[in-house]
Amino acid sequence: MKLFIDIGGTHLRSEIYTAEMIHREKLSSQEHDLADYIKQCLARYPDISFIGISFAGQVYQGEILSAPNIRITTKNIKEYFESCYPLRLEIDNDLNCAVMAEASYFQEANIAALYVGTGLGAAVIDQGRLIRGFHNQAFELGHIPYKEAPFLCGCGKNNCVELFASGGGLEKRMRYNHKEGKPDLKKLKDQGDNSVELFEDALLHAAATLVSLANPRILVLGGGIVEQNPYLIQLLKQKIGTKAFPSALEGLTITGTALKNAGMDGAKLLERREDG
């Protein structure tokens, strides 16, 4: 049996593969601790021999380094479960998982993923290899310096591009402007709110930076905000030439994701991984 988990700032989704069926669950990630949830699954299904986790936070060699939006009590999660149970556990950053799933879907060795949800995340596969960096934090695009905002990012800085181009950034700006409710680009635009203009410009800046640095053949866009606002894909296609390195645009395809949950699909690919 196998257990796959996709955990973000809002939801914990799981799929348990038994010989007969797939058992799916969706819970609040605010109300459930990851390690406690895995223990419950193992109590119900003691034959689980592999666990793959897509995690919305920084992860290095099976250890959770930081998790701004998720409740975590056990950080060395791989070591803990592999020493207490007869199983193998692999965990990776959600964007790393997503870009692996996208590369597999597009059968592409040079691909960059840019996902806009609660945060702004990116990951790159270059010549078939995931670019990891020293501590598995390469292409943390959301935290590149951009402009100063009048509020702080979860990382402690006030100039991250994520503060302008993400659902979480929009929420902070709405609170700062004393506005209620969930961020909705269309509604804000209709109200003449300038945070939409700021959002679009910051997203363009992030996408142009990613393409100029990574030189992918495909730039694939996903995440909740892109899914709710598909016009953003068109906007980037039309305007990326105004900001990106021109020769990095030659042969580039910009497209939206075709996957329903690339993070979960990537968690399933972790079983094949041997590089840790």
Looking at the Cβ atoms of 158 and 194, the one nearer to Zn ion is 158
**SS3 annotation, 219-263:** EEEECHHHHHCCHHHHHHHHHHHHCCCHHHHCCCEEEECCCCCHH
Q: Which of 117/216 has CB closer to Zn ion?
A: 117
Which residues lie near Zn ion (CB under 5 A)?
143, 153, 155, 157, 160
- Given the complex with Zn ion, which of 176 and 245 has the nearer CB atom? 176
Closest CB 160 distance from Zn ion, rounded Å: 3
Instruction: For the CB of residue 141, give the shortest distance to Zn ion in the complex, in Å.
Output: 10
Q: Please check whether residue 106 is in contact with residue 118, taking contact to mean a CB–CB distance below 8 angstroms.
A: no
| CB 180 to Zn ion: min, Å | 25
Residue with smaller CB distance to Zn ion, 10 or 58: 58
Q: Cα–chain-centroid distance for residue 259? A: 13
Minimum distance of Zn ion from residue 226's CB (angstroms): 20
**Minimal distance, residue 1 CB to Zn ion, in Å:** 38
Q: What are the angstrom distances between the C-alpha of 24 and each of 8, 12, 157? A: 16, 11, 38
Indicate the length of the chain as a whole number.
Answer: 276
State the nearest-atom distance from the C-beta of 119 to Zn ion, in Å: 9
Whose Cβ is closer to Zn ion: residue 38's or residue 70's? Answer: 70
Q: Which is nearer to Zn ion, 160 or 202 (CB)?
A: 160
Residue 204's alpha-carbon distances to 144, 166, 183, 211, 242, in angstroms, are: 13, 12, 19, 11, 9
* Contact call for residues 16 and 1 (beta carbons, < 8 A): yes
Cα separation, 251 vs 155, in Å, equals 35
* Half-sphere exposure (Cβ direction) of 183: Cα atoms closer than 13 Å: 27
- Bridge partners (DSSP) of residue 155 are none
